[in-house]
């Protein structure tokens, strides 16, 4: 069966792909159709054909799935923020669970571990504590899904209420601006419930990284503290790689651990150092360089926490990590694909490591993104 761009096809959607689109098949040829739900029967127009799959655009829903939900946002589908507001939250969670399972099976060829049930987000909406918005003259919005076209909205259903209130203030401030200037504003709700705004030049760089879902981040912090348990006289250090502003370093130090945190972002390290105690030390450096430096000094760490960005860890980092003689590695990831790759690399670097369990968490409801925490131990 051959297909061509512009052709209309009828498809049943069987799952949601990492990236958010619904997946349908005709004679084993895979179609990705955004804004469909598992169980839908749809008509879609083919817009791009590759060797093994095609991208298609939803034309109409022939039979809606029971997995569908009413999207509360009136710019859903236009704005680039959410992919899954039309999917019932329970189904979103099921799909994320499968994403993690498949990533480990496909990429790491790993089945010998416990995959725990995903922890739902305490809030399905209004959970985000930071946002990047655009203004164009007196107009305010997000960029649209596929272009730099501004999509205006009244309230963003993902943002915490205080941030939506702040948007109202910004609209007021810009209402008499001439319609040519485009700006980017980053807003951030601090732990003290105060709003910080970036200036236009810094684009929020001064904030450094921070977890976007405050309540789910507390669950993640608790899990990290639980998995490292209590320190003993012979075992009391944790190397916190990609530590950011010390999001996990401080809860761990409170339960008695000495923390050696490393992050490349100066602002994050400055924030961490401003809260430092005698149990925490922070180095502003590239993690690989710091590992090499520590190894040259003959330092060892039985416990390592890894929380890299979406791209995961460099292969050299995971190889060099072994010179620090780790026994327990706790890996936090916002990308199951790079986690799968990195776990395979850790195993290749030392086959005595075992993946004990993986716990997915929903940090980003209404989007396809999924977070996980995994325990890797020497056997």
Question: By CB under 6 A, is residue 141 in contact with ligand SAM?
Answer: no
Please identify, using beta-carbon distances, which residue of 135 and 267 lies nearer to ligand SAM: 267
Greatest extent of the chain over all pairs of C-alpha atoms, in Å: 69
Question: By CB under 6 A, is residue 99 in contact with ligand SAM?
Answer: no
Question: By CB under 6 A, is residue 280 in contact with ligand SAM?
Answer: no
Options 268, 272, 294, 373; binder of ligand SAM; rule CB under 6 A:
268
Question: By CB under 6 A, is residue 218 in contact with ligand SAM?
Answer: no
Question: By CB under 6 A, is residue 209 in contact with ligand SAM?
Answer: yes
Name beta bridge partners: 9: 44
Question: By CB under 6 A, is residue 286 in contact with ligand SAM?
Answer: yes
Site string for ligand SAM, 298-337 (x = CB under 6 A): ---------xxx----------------------------
Distance CA 238, CA 306 (A): 10
Residue 143 burial by CB count (10 A; 0-12/13-18/19+): exposed, middle or buried? middle
Min. distance of Cβ 161 from ligand SAM in angstroms? Answer: 23
Please list, in sequence order, all residues whose beta carbon lies within 8 angstroms of the beta carbon of residue 60, skipping any fewer than 6 positions away: 42, 43
3-state helix, strand, coil in the chain (%, to 5): 25, 30, 40
Please identify, using beta-carbon distances, which residue of 135 and 211 lies nearer to ligand SAM: 211
Question: By CB under 6 A, is residue 283 in contact with ligand SAM?
Answer: no
Please identify, using beta-carbon distances, which residue of 55 and 132 lies nearer to ligand SAM: 132
CA dihedral 156, 162, 167, 169 (to 10 degrees): 160
Beta strands in the chain (DSSP E): 8-16, 22-26, 29-33, 41-49, 53-63, 114-115, 130-136, 139-143, 150-152, 182-189, 195-197, 237-241, 258-263, 280-284, 303-306, 328-333, 353-361, 371-378
Min. distance of Cβ 248 from ligand SAM in angstroms? Answer: 6
End-to-end CA distance of the chain: 51
Question: By CB under 6 A, is residue 371 in contact with ligand SAM?
Answer: no
Q: Does the annotation mark 243 as catalytic?
A: no
Question: By CB under 6 A, is residue 12 in contact with ligand SAM?
Answer: no
Min. distance of Cβ 333 from ligand SAM in angstroms? Answer: 8
Binding window for ligand SAM (CB under 6 A); candidates: 80-88, 173-181, 206-214, 273-281 = 206-214
Question: By CB under 6 A, is residue 211 in contact with ligand SAM?
Answer: yes
Beta strands in 175-312 (DSSP E): 182-189, 195-197, 237-241, 258-263, 280-284, 303-306
Residues 233-252 that bind ligand SAM (CB under 6 A): 242-244, 247-248
Q: What's the Rg (C-alpha) of the chain? A: 23
* Interface contacts to ligand SAM, rule CB under 6 A: 208-211, 242-244, 247-248, 262-265, 268, 286-287, 307-309
Residues annotated as catalytic are 334
């Amino acid at each position: 069966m051959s297909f061509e761009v512009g052709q209309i096809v009828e498809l049943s959607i069987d799952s949601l792909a990492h990236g958010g689109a619904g997946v349908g098949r005709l004679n084993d040829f895979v179609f990705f159709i955004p804004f469909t739900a598992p169980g839908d029967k749809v008509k879609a127009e083919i817009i791009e054909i590759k060797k093994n799959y095609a991208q298609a655009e939803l034309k109409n829903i022939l039979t809606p799935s029971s997995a569908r939900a009413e999207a509360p946002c009136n710019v859903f589908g236009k704005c680039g923020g959410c992919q899954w507001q039309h999917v019932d939250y329970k189904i979103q969670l099921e799909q994320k669970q499968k994403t993690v399972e498949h990533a480990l099976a496909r990429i790491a060829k790993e089945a010998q571990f416990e995959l725990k049930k995903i922890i739902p987000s305490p809030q399905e909406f209004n959970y985000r504590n930071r946002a990047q918005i655009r203004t164009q003259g007196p107009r305010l919005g997000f960029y649209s899904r596929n272009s730099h076209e501004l999509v205006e909205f009244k309230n963003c259903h993902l943002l915490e209420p205080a941030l939506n209130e702040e948007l109202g203030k910004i609209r007021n401030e810009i209402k008499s601006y001439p319609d040519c200037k485009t700006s980017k504003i980053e807003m951030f709700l601090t732990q003290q419930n105060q709003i910080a705004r970036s200036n236009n030049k810094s684009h929020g760089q001064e904030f450094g990284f921070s977890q976007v879902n405050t309540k789910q981040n507390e669950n993640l912090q608790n899990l990290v503290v639980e998995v490292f348990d209590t320190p003993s006289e012979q075992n009391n250090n944790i190397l916190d790689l990609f530590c950011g502003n010390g999001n996990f370093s401080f809860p761990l130090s409170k339960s008695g651990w000495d923390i050696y945190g490393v992050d490349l972002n100066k602002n994050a390290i400055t924030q961490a150092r401003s809260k430092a105690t005698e149990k925490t030390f922070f180095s502003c450096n590239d993690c690989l360089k710091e590992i090499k430096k520590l190894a040259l000094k003959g330092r060892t760490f039985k416990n390592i926490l890894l929380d890299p960005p979406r791209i995961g860890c460099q292969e050299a980092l995971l190889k060099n990590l072994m010179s620090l003689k780790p026994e327990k590695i706790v890996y936090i990831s916002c990308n199951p694909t790079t986690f799968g790759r990195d776990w395979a690399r850790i195993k290749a670097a030392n086959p005595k490591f075992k993946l004990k369990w993986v716990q997915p968490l929903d940090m980003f409801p209404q989007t396809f993104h999924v977070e996980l925490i995994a325990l890797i131990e020497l056997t």
